[in-house]
Amino acid sequence: MQLLSGNEACAVGAVRAGVRFFAGYPITPSTEIAEYLARELPRIGGTFIQMEDEIASICCMNGATAAGVKAMTATSGPGFSLMQEGLGYSIMSELPCIIVNVMRGGPATGTPTRTSQSDVMQARHGTHGDHPIVALCPWDVRECFDLTVEAVNLSERLRIPVIVLMDEVVGHMREAVELPAELKLWQSAKAKVPREGYYHYDDSNNYDACIASFGEGYRVHLTGLTHRKDGFPTDDPEIIKWNMDRLRKKIDDNQDWLWDLTYEDLGSETVIVCYGSAARSAMDAKRQFEQKTGRRVGILRLRMVWPFPTERMISLMKSARRVIVPEMNQGQLNRTIERSVSRHVPVISVQRYDGEMLTPEEIIEAL
Amino acid sequence: MADEHVGLTESEQVSRFLDYFRVDERFPHILCPGCGIGTAMNTVIRAFIETGVSQDELCVVSGIGCSSRISGYVDCDTFHTLHGRALPAATGVKLARPNLKVVVFGGDGDMLAIGGNHFIHAARRNIDVTVFVLNNFTYAMTGGQYSPTTPTHERAATAPYGNVERDFDICFMARATGAMFVARSTTFHVAHLKKMAKLALSKRGFSVVEIISQCPTFYGRHQGLGDAVKMLEWIRDRSVDASKVTDPWQVQDKFVIGVLHDREEVPPYSKLYEQVRARAQGKA
């Protein structure tokens, strides 16, 4: 057992999963991740660099990733805004890296030392252009570890950037945790074909990929421009569509194993759909409500908020009479949930956006 | 790095040169007739060959813009990044694989406007990369808007009544922010440019070569400087060798070409970070 904060557990998970490069810029409430990695990475032969801003941080991380080193950055709202440009590049050139956003209130400088879940939609749509995104939402310290490891695995397997969306409460909370002695890590295969027959974006290389990095003799070309399977830019409509479909298929073709959610008592009349630290209050609300009334309350907790499991949500909510969505924002994921299930069941948004954590009582009121 | 070029016949030299390009996949290129970027690219590639940089140990990084298209034509690992972000990306590549020779190409807008802050900090950190800044005094890719190097009062697509801003001396800033080596050359002085490029490539640490280049399509036209030949003559007539001036930083309205700054090497970031690792591991 060890006493760790969520931020520390995230950093420990990153190192255990093979992250060996961190580029970042100090920002509350994520800085402990950088501080931990500044200490640990050089001890194990890795690299830590503090860049001039978050734009440089994500681009530096992309550079290390392109050169074949597992890389990560961590930030919070304002920094996450600056990183949207580089995030688009990671998506377009299919660089498998990790972006941690420990959410605080916004817009602008907002509330640096308070908690929030208000970057959920920015994580989904923050960078321009159509694109897939994967974002994981831990709710406790152990999960900060687990989902960072999961983020590394998913990024490698799908060749995408993966976002770990923590919030200030989860990041700064301390808990005694038992970390697993062994981890299941996805091993990406290295390119084996000779250079002449190698295509960086071959259709067989969309997921579970065999890829070459810089410095391996493959003369790889990476660009943020829409590109052909050899990596060179094109404006041929047919290939543009192929490129865009290729990115989307990473998610569409893997729906069976990709989604990550936990639930209990879904047969109940009322179901709470939640994620992150709001799920902690929801759990307590469920317990208190059930004790007081004897009526069961269902809980569905999303460990992965993006991609959103629309079809599964509809089937899981079949017997529910109403859905409660507690969030520390003005109802961001609520709108997505409404869109998928409101034809079958009413959806009630419980919001808090004053920098404080949602209390179980606020959720009980809605039950 | 050994000088591999010595002892090759002329045809071997030509084939070695052509081998450096993605001839089949990427040509013809997208540059306008009369553009100076092709000259700069060819000359720097000759410098690669003559300093013995092999294609498999080279990574060419660029941002966005006409000059940044060079990364698409050179046959090695190439990284066409985001507008202004070539240097942070190059920093990541260099620190992740210190054995790679990392060379950055960018234009005046890419390197000094949107990428200006990154330029300052890459120089300050002494990242071991060579940067070629192709200065054509304009944003050419987007049609000739004024850039940080467009001289005051000159006209541009976004300065129809003349540019109010003061222009920027790339080399002065490179020296001030900590570069190990700074030189300026032009697309007219190709032999000189090759020499400057070789010196920069041989220097360990952050080295910068500013290449004054003609853009007849979007700069020359706005200034009434004429076609490519006239612009090259204009570059020739405005250039003065650094050895012929008392203080290269005080010369007005001329391109002072040559080595402008060549300081005693200090270990680059990647070397110093090895010491950090040693301390962290209790070995130092």
Domain ranges across chain B: 10-280
Nearest to A214 among B59, B82, B118 (CB): B59
Which residues does chain B have within 8 Å of residue A85's beta carbon, measured at their own beta carbons?
82, 85
pLDDT in tens, A134-159: 999 999 999 999 999 999 999 999 99
Classified as helix, coil or strand, B21 is strand
B113 Cβ under 8 Å from any chain A Cβ: no
Residues of A at the B interface, defined by Cβ within 8 angstroms: 21, 23, 39, 42-43, 45, 47, 49, 51-53, 55-57, 59-69, 71, 85-86, 89, 214-215, 217-225, 230, 232-233
Whether CATH 3.40.50.970 fits B10-280: yes
Is it the case that residue A115 has pLDDT exceeding 80?
yes
Report pLDDT digits (tens) over B200-213: 999 999 999 999 99
Question: Does B2 have pLDDT greater than 50?
Answer: no
Top residue of B66, B77, B121, B277 to mutate, by most chain A CBs within 10 Å, is B77
Closest Cα to residue A272, out of A224, A225, A324? A324
- B68 to chain A: closest CA residue: A223
| Cβ(B27)–Cβ(B73) below 8 Å | yes
The structure tokens listed for B93 are: 């590549």
B196 touches chain A (CB under 8 A): no
Calculate mean pLDDT across residues B225-241. 97
- Chain B residues within 8 A of A230 when measuring between CB atoms: 25
Q: What is the pLDDT of residue B8?
A: 79
What confidence tier does A302 reach under pLDDT thresholds 50, 70, 90? very high
pLDDT value of position A208: 80
Chain A within 8 Å of B90 (Cβ-Cβ)? yes
* Mean pLDDT, rounded, for A180-199: 91
- Least CB-CB distance to A222: which of B80, B277, B281? B80
User: Are the C-beta atoms of B86 and B62 separated by less than 8 Å?
Assistant: yes
The whole-angstrom distance between B91's CA and the closest CA on chain A is 6
Tens-digit pLDDT profile for residues B142-186: 999 999 999 999 999 999 999 999 999 999 999 999 999 999 999
C-beta atoms of B92 and A220 within 8 A: no
Q: How far is A64 from chain B, CA to nearest CA, in Å?
A: 4
Q: How far apart are CA A300 and CA A307, in angstroms?
A: 16
pLDDT tens-digit map of A321-344 = 999 999 999 999 999 999 999 999
Select from B73, B95, B104 the residue whose CB has the most chain A CBs within 10 Å, as the one to mutate to test that interface: B95
Interchain contact B85–A (C-beta under 8 A): yes
- The full set of domains in chain A, from first to last, is 2-177 (3.40.50.970), 189-256 (no CATH), 260-366 (3.40.50.920)
Q: Return the pLDDT at A189.
A: 85
How far apart, in whole angstroms, are the C-alpha atoms of residue B157 and residue A123? 37
**In terms of DSSP bridges, do strands B255-262 and B145-146 run parallel, antiparallel, or are they unpaired?**
unpaired
A212 with A200: CB under 8 angstroms?
Answer: yes
Q: Provide mean pLDDT across the span A88-111.
A: 97
* Residue A271, helix vs strand vs coil: strand
Answer yes or no: pTM beyond 0.95.
Answer: yes
Q: In this structure, which amino acid lies at residue A15? A: V
Mutate to test the interface with A, among B78, B128, B177, B281 (most CBs of A within 10 A): B78
The lowest-confidence range among A90-94, A204-208, A346-350, B100-104 is: A204-208
Averaged pLDDT for residues B252-269: 97
Model confidence at B1, in pLDDT bands (50, 70, 90)?
very low
CB B81 within 8 A of CB B259: no
- Mean pLDDT estimate for chain A: 96
Residues of B in contact with A219 (CB under 8 A): 55-56, 75-78
Task: Please state, in angstroms and rounded to a whole number, the distance separating the CA atoms of residues B219 and B150.
Answer: 9
For testing contact with chain B, the best of A36, A41, A127, A219 (most B CBs within 10 A): A219
Buried b (16+ CB within 10 A) or exposed e, A287-302: ebbeeeeeebbbbbbb
Distance from CA of A142 to the nearest CA of B (A): 27
Question: DSSP H helical segments within chain B, as ranges?
Answer: 10-19, 23-26, 37-50, 70-73, 86-96, 108, 116-125, 170-176, 190-202, 221-223, 228-238, 269-280
